[in-house]
A and B are shown apart, each in its own frame.
Chain A
Amino acid sequence: MQEDKLTLSESELILRRAFANGLQISEESVNDALQYASTPGWDSVAHMALIASLDSTFDIMLDTDDVLELSSYPKAREILRKYGVRF
Chain B
Amino acid sequence: MKLLQDRVGSITGASRGIGRATALEAARQGARLILIARSREGLEETAHQVENEGGVRPQIIVCDVADESSLKTAFREMHGYTKQLDFLVNNAGILRDAVIGMISTKQILEVLHTNLISLIQIMQFAARIMMGAKSGSIVNIASIIGRSGNEGQVVYGASKAGVIGATKSAARELAPHGIRVNAVAPGVIATSMIANIPESKKEELLGSIKMNRLGQPEEVAKIICVLASDYSSYVTGQILGVDGGMWL
Contact = CB atoms under 8 A, between A and B. Distances in A.
Contact of A48 (B75, B79, B127): B127
For chain A, what secondary structure do more than half of its interface residues adopt (helix, strand, loop), or is it mixed? helix
Indicate the member of A45, A48, A63 with the most B CB atoms within 10 Å. Answer: A48
A76 interface: no
A48 B132 contact: no
A33 interface: no
Nearest to A64: B124
Contacts of A63: 72
A55 B173 contact: no
A45 B173 contact: yes
Interface residues of A, number: 11
Which interface class (under 10, 10 to 19, 20 to 34, 35 or more) fits B? Answer: 10 to 19
B177 interface: yes
Contact of A51 (B72, B75, B121, B128): B128
Contacts of A49: 131, 177
B76 A61 contact: yes
A52 B131 CA distance: 6
Given A45-B176, A61-B75, A63-B72, A55 B132 contact: yes
A48 B72 contact: no
A40 B132 CA distance: 22
A56 B127 contact: no
Contacts of B79: 55, 61
A44 to B, nearest CB: 8
A45 B175 CA distance: 11
B231 interface: no
A52 B75 CA distance: 14
A64 B128 CA distance: 11
A52 B128 CA distance: 5
Interface in A41-71: 45, 48-49, 51-53, 55-56, 61, 63-64
A15 B137 CA distance: 28
Interface in B124-156: 124-125, 127-129, 131-132
A52 B132 CA distance: 6
A49 B134 CA distance: 9
26 contacts: A45-B173, A45-B176, A48-B127, A48-B128, A48-B131, A49-B131, A49-B177, A51-B128, A52-B127, A52-B128, A52-B129, A52-B131, A52-B132, A55-B79, A55-B128, A55-B132, A56-B83, A56-B132, A61-B72, A61-B75, A61-B76, A61-B79, A61-B125, A63-B72, A64-B121, A64-B124
Given A49-B177, A56-B132, A61-B72, 20 more contacts: A45-B173, A45-B176, A45-B177, A48-B127, A48-B128, A48-B173, A52-B127, A52-B128, A52-B129, A52-B132, A53-B132, A55-B129, A55-B132, A56-B83, A61-B75, A61-B76, A61-B79, A61-B125, A61-B128, A63-B72
